[in-house]
Structure 1
Amino acid sequence: MPKISIIVPVYNVEKYLQKCVDSILAQSFRDYELILVDDGATDASPSICDDYAEKDQRVKVIHKQNGGLSDARNAGINVASAPFLGFIDSDDYIAPDMYEQLYFDMIDGQADLAICGIYDIYENKDPKQLPEVRKVLTPEQTLKMILDAKLISVHAVNKLYRREIFSKIRYPVNVITEDAAVIIPILQACKKVVINTKQQYYYVHHVGTISSRSFSDRDLDTISVWERNEEIVKRTFPALSYACHTRVCWANFLVLDKIMVSKNWRTIAVRKKIILFLKKNWRFIIKNNRLTKGRKLVFLALVINEVLYRQIILQTKTTLGD
């Protein structure tokens, strides 16, 4: 039995898949199985997966009908045989010692979850280097750091999990903010978490701006997921209510930005509800030290006039929600 099951959902990523898989097969930690979940891909990705399985006995391939990222991850969880689980997105890649670090951090810290740092990779831009911190934390302390989003993030992919965590947890299908939707139940299933912010995961941001990504009703998942998280936090981690409400405001800004750059922005009725929510929270937003000065200035433009807000967002060509 391998010690780690690494699950990689695969859907129409023939351009990136080889770099991803090669980075996994080059791991200094060798005792793992790699589960490639072909989620009904229509390009050359399925045959690339099969080629890897023929060359390396650690590679297993699942071919299934398209069900989305969450469904593919769940399919991998269902067949995984190792006591520890990890997830990689198929257009990203990892450092050669990422799983060695995660595994021994978890063992040494007697933890249920290990987290490493992430490099955000943008074309023609040097990745930001973060300070290196290693700590063993409680679930509440970990959630605080995730909500602050300075050294560790909500992403599923830069983590190693004890398999028991997923005994009752699965990723929600047809929800686009799936990582945020399960992070609190995952932490509630832990007793201890070890973080090591050495950046080992390379999260690739592909070319494109907010103006190239049209709004759809599915984007509203981002708001509803963080609203649900806020309700859980109020009950279970009340000291983190302020930080979580910041994430709810951030989610509303993120969705509003996508609405406002859409050609049909005036006809998107939910726009008014989001703007009303943000304006009701004007004091919270302006005094919030977690939101950037740029975001606050753009928010003031929204308070004055939504057309002015839209013009600024269009000029920046990017979301200011992060």
Structure 2
Amino acid sequence: MKISVVVPVYNPGVKFKKCVKSILNQSHTDLELILVNDGSTDGSAELIDDFSRKDFRVKAFHKSNEGTIPTRRKGIELAASEFVTFVDSDDWIHPKMLEIFANELKQSEYDVVVCNTFRVLGEGRLVKQRNNGWYFDEDKVYEGEEIKKDIITAYFHGHPFPAALHGKIYRRDLLLQHDNLLKGFTILGDDLFYNMEILLHSKKIKVLKEPLYYYRLGGTTSKYMPNLFNDVVRGYEVQKQVAHQYYQDSLQSQLNGSSIMLINMLNRTVYGLFLGSLSQKEIMNEINKYLSNKYIQEATINQGVKKFFPEELKKALEEKDSTYFYRIGQAYYRKKYLKHRVMKMIDKIPVS
């Protein structure tokens, strides 16, 4: 069984070699590796061409910088296999990941197979943590309504089913046909809502408890992202759309979950303002914009939000108290500052 591995590439630096080698050295050798260069400026383009010259299984494609959504799409379009898996260009995979995926797909007609993941810092020598969420307590098959009820609802309530595209293998036709929910996203949310749509159209999914994917911590989530809030509210819009279309029997529960997630993401977005070089006045202006957003105001009066959050926060939402959110964002930033410094130091340890 041939498997297509798509790697979107944008300035991964020295980590890129380990990623590619972990794919080309798989025990399952019937594969094609599609390296899609999204306008890298760090020398990755030359590495991609070098890999393609040395190994016939490597396809190289170069384009201008457009972001992850069109870059992954190009990789899917170039894929010649029935099944596609994604690897981020600074991560790596277990030597038998593709073999294990292939064996599962040969045993049954799965639309998606999901493996567990290690979260690592540097090379994983100091920090290597597996996902201990209940979805990975055992190998399990989900079919039909189980997928909608037990898996997709995780994306409304923050349950520990992984939202990332990596660590999964998909039928290529599902990836090509179901990407309508991705419209409007720029930097965050494309994984979650791509998965949401694909899983809604899947008939059979296998979840494996074994961790086969190594995900490096300390990426874009620890950087200031100017468009983060726009993606957050777009995600809320999509959740509402899906809830109304597919969950009429539990609509209020799903809307409660998406509203709680929106307010939690508001806190995270405010914290993210402190990761850049914005002045206090600029941060306050941004917070004021956030609090006046119609979806934040809508979530403020949601039943779930009223039950879930402490009175002080709910009052700050109702009164659009930007000073309150500035204080909690600043406090969280100070708490996390040392952690980020340590993560960056570990991340700079030379790779093998």
The Cα shift of 1:7 comes to: 0.6
Which residue in the other structure is 1:162 paired with? Answer: 171
Match of 1:93, as an amino acid? W
Name the SS of the counterpart of 2:127 in structure 1: coil
8 Å Cα contact 1:13/1:91 also seen in 2: yes
Residues 1:146 and 1:225: Cα distance change in structure 2 (over 3 Å):
closer
Residues 1:150 and 1:267: Cα distance change in structure 2 (over 3 Å):
closer
The Cα shift of 1:255 comes to: 1.9
Match of 1:267, as an amino acid? N
Match of 2:272, as an amino acid? K
Name the SS of the counterpart of 1:127 in structure 2: strand
Matches for 1:52-91 after TM superposition, within 5 Å? 52-91=51-90
Please say if 1:280 is aligned against 2:301. yes
Matches for 1:1-322 after TM superposition, within 5 Å? 3-122=2-121, 124-128=126-130, 130=132, 131-138=136-143, 139-140=147-148, 141-147=150-156, 150-170=159-179, 172=183, 175-176=186-187, 177-206=189-218, 210=222, 213-238=223-248, 239=250, 241=254, 242-259=256-273, 262-263=278-279, 264-268=282-286, 269-273=288-292, 276=297, 279-281=300-302, 284-285=304-305, 287-288=307-308, 299=313, 305-317=324-336
Residues 1:273 and 1:198: Cα distance change in structure 2 (over 3 Å):
farther
Name the SS of the counterpart of 1:317 in structure 2: helix
Residues 1:92 and 1:136: Cα distance change in structure 2 (over 3 Å):
same
Cα distance in 2 for residues equivalent to 1:252 and 1:277: 13
Q: What CA RMSD, in Å, does the superposition of the two structures yield over aligned residues?
A: 3.0
8 Å Cα contact 2:152/2:200 also seen in 1: no
134-143 or 97-106, which moves further after superposition? 97-106
Cα distance in 2 for residues equivalent to 1:226 and 1:28: 41
The Cα shift of 1:302 comes to: 5.5
Which residue in the other structure is 1:292 paired with? Answer: none
Residues 1:215 and 1:77: Cα distance change in structure 2 (over 3 Å):
closer
Match of 2:335, as an amino acid? T
The Cα shift of 1:55 comes to: 1.6
Name the SS of the counterpart of 1:13 in structure 2: coil
248-257 or 158-167, which moves further after superposition? 248-257
The Cα shift of 1:90 comes to: 0.3
Cα distance in 2 for residues equivalent to 1:270 and 1:20: 40
Residues 1:97 and 1:147: Cα distance change in structure 2 (over 3 Å):
farther
Cα distance in 1 for residues equivalent to 2:210 and 2:158: 15
Cα distance in 2 for residues equivalent to 1:234 and 1:9: 33
Report sequence identity in percent: 25
- Paired residues in the alignment total 308
8 Å Cα contact 2:259/2:304 also seen in 1: no
124-133 or 42-51, which moves further after superposition? 124-133
Cα distance in 2 for residues equivalent to 1:182 and 1:287: 30
Give TM-score scaled by structure 1 length. 0.83
Structure 2: segments with no counterpart, 5+ residues: 338-352
Cα distance in 1 for residues equivalent to 2:330 and 2:266: 18
238-247 or 133-142, which moves further after superposition? 238-247
The Cα shift of 1:232 comes to: 0.9
The Cα shift of 1:192 comes to: 1.1
Match of 1:258, as an amino acid? G
The Cα shift of 1:122 comes to: 3.1
Residues 1:121 and 1:219: Cα distance change in structure 2 (over 3 Å):
farther
8 Å Cα contact 2:34/2:58 also seen in 1: yes
1:13-59 CA distances to partner (integer Å, 9 max, x unpaired)?
23111010011112122211000011121121011111111221111
1:219-238 CA distances to partner (integer Å, 9 max, x unpaired)?
42122123312321232034
Match of 1:108, as an amino acid? Q
Residues 1:207 and 1:14: Cα distance change in structure 2 (over 3 Å):
closer
Match of 1:265, as an amino acid? I
The Cα shift of 1:194 comes to: 1.1
Residues 1:79 and 1:142: Cα distance change in structure 2 (over 3 Å):
same
Residues 1:251 and 1:107: Cα distance change in structure 2 (over 3 Å):
farther
